[in-house]
Amino acid sequence: MNDLDRQLTELQERFGAAVAAAPSAQALDDARVAFLGRNGEVTSVRRSIGTLPPEARPAAGKRINLAVEAMERMLGDAQVRLEARAFETELAQVVDVTYPGIEPPVGTIHPVRRITEQASAYFARHGFAVVVGPEVEPDYYTFDALNIPSDHPAREGFDSFWLTDSLLLRPHTSPMQIRTMQQHRPPVAIIAPGKCYRRDAVDARHLFQFHQIEGLLVAEGVHFGHLKGMLSGLCRELFGPEQQVRFRPSFFPFTEPSAEVDTTCPRCHGHLQRCGMCGGSGWIELGGAGMVHPNVLREVEYDPDVYSGWAFGVGVERLGLTRYGVDDIRRFINSDPDFLEQLR
Ligand code: DAH
């Protein structure tokens, strides 16, 4: 090993030690200037080439360049190492990965949807198809085909949002009876859940947009007893195994006879005189029902002498009031996570 070799090896070792010990980017740069800078140690070695015999100079130059390359590699490695260390230090200050996390709020299935799904599943289990239809309907499906001609006073009961002379936001799900029967020959067994709209003033019992579940069964030999059985089953599914169902005489143009459907108060079962849910009557009203009117069957070309059927319509929010013991229907549309969370 000649003098130059020894000198450069020693230089490289010192540089390596300085770089390895550099605690900061600034210290690293100081080392770079001291060794590789314009007036640094490598430059004085280069200058010493002039003292060598001319034929030895090219080899010496090459040897110096190799040393410089090696030192620049050391410098680059040290830079990467320092940056990684700085990042880790910063992380350790900012993020304590052992700290318990913040649980993000998780939503719940809305009660209206849950009841709709549960009722749908119940009817599907009994062979009913679940159908959905348009929320904008012609008056034909909403009224005329359901045995409510334009001069019929029952139209007044449906205070509707009219879009044109003949188009409206459906005020009930009953149009789906007609749509289904026009497309299928009997027997038909469907339920039709969906949104409905009425120009009602909003209060604790009314919304202008709400949900109904319509039910329809038409076949040979269908009678009121089947309806009572299915609705009793639904109430037991939704409210508990003790539920009873009763019918009170009523009127709907599309059914004859017609009935109002009540179920036993799931809170007091008729045992509390001052029950906040049923007012002491022991019964809660669910909706309307009846045997499909012969005029409705004729409208869809079903022979009323051969086929009979029943239909019902219940309000989903009303079912929710009863099921969850809620006193104000507006709570279902206030999007209050604390309230919805309680009904989980
Ligand atoms: N469509 C009626 C309403 O919204 C409810 C109803 C009553 C539906 C009797 C029916 C039925 O299918 O048979 O007030």
pTM for the predicted model, two decimal places: 0.72
Torsion angles phi and psi, residue 212, rounded to 5: -125, 160
Measured in whole angstroms, the distance separating CA 255 from the mean position of its chain's CA atoms is 38
Atom of ligand 1 nearest to the CA of 212: 4
Any atom of ligand 1 within 6 Å of the Cβ of 194? no
Predicted confidence at residue 296, as pLDDT, reads 98
Distance 181 CA to ligand 1 centre (A): 16
For strands 188-197 and 129-130, give the pairing: parallel
* Ligand 1 pocket check for 255: Cβ under 6 Å: yes
- How many angstroms from the chain centroid is the CA of residue 28? 55
Cβ 290 under 6 angstroms from ligand 1: yes
Output the average pLDDT for the chain.
93
181-203 per-position pLDDT tens digit: 999 999 999 999 999 999 999 99
Residue 288 makes CB contacts below 8 A (sequence gap 6+) with 250, 252, 255, 258, 259, 260, 261, 312, 313
Ligand 1: does its nearest atom lie under 6 Å from the Cβ of 245? no
pLDDT of residue 287: 96
Does the beta carbon of 311 sit less than 6 angstroms from any atom of ligand 1? yes
Q: What is the pLDDT of residues 111-161, one digit of tens each?
A: 999 999 999 999 999 999 999 999 999 999 999 999 999 988 888 889 999
3-class DSSP string for the chain: CCHHHHHHHHHHHHHHHHHHHCCCHHHHHHHHHHHHCCCCHHHHHHHHHHHCCHHHHHHHHHHHHHHHHHHHHHHHHHHHHHHHHHHHHHHHHHCCCCCCCCCCCCCCCCHHHHHHHHHHHHHHHCCCEECCCCCEEEHHHHCHHHCCCCCCCHHHHCCCCECCCCEEECCCCCHHHHHHHHHCCCCEEEEEEEEEECCCCCECCECCEEEEEEEEEEECCCCHHHHHHHHHHHHHHHHCCCCCEEEEEEEECCEEEEEEEEEECCCCCCCCCCCCCCCCCCEEEEEEEEEECHHHHHHCCCCCCCCEEEEEEEEHHHHHHHHHCCCCHHHHHCCCHHHHHHCC
115 near 319, Cβ under 8 Å?
yes
Give the CATH superfamily of 111-342.
Bira Bifunctional Protein; Domain 2 (3.30.930.10)
Nearest CA owner, ligand 1 atom 12: 312
Which atom of ligand 1 is closest in space to residue 292's alpha carbon? 13
Nearest CA to ligand 1 atom 8: 313
**Pocket of ligand 1, candidates 252, 260, 292: which has the most ligand atoms within 8 Å of its Cβ, to mutate?**
252
Cβ of 131: how many Cβ atoms within 10 Å? 19
For residue 298, is pLDDT > 60?
yes
**Model confidence band, residue 299 (pLDDT cutoffs 50, 70, 90):** very high
Q: Which residue would you say has higher pLDDT here, 152 or 180?
A: 180
Least confident residue range of 242-246, 270-274, 284-288:
270-274
Q: Is 288 in the pocket of ligand 1 (CB under 6 A)?
A: yes
Q: Give me the residue spans of the domains in the chain.
A: 3-92, 111-342
Q: What is the pLDDT of residues 6-22, one digit of tens each?
A: 999 999 999 999 998 88
* % of the chain at pLDDT higher than 70: 100
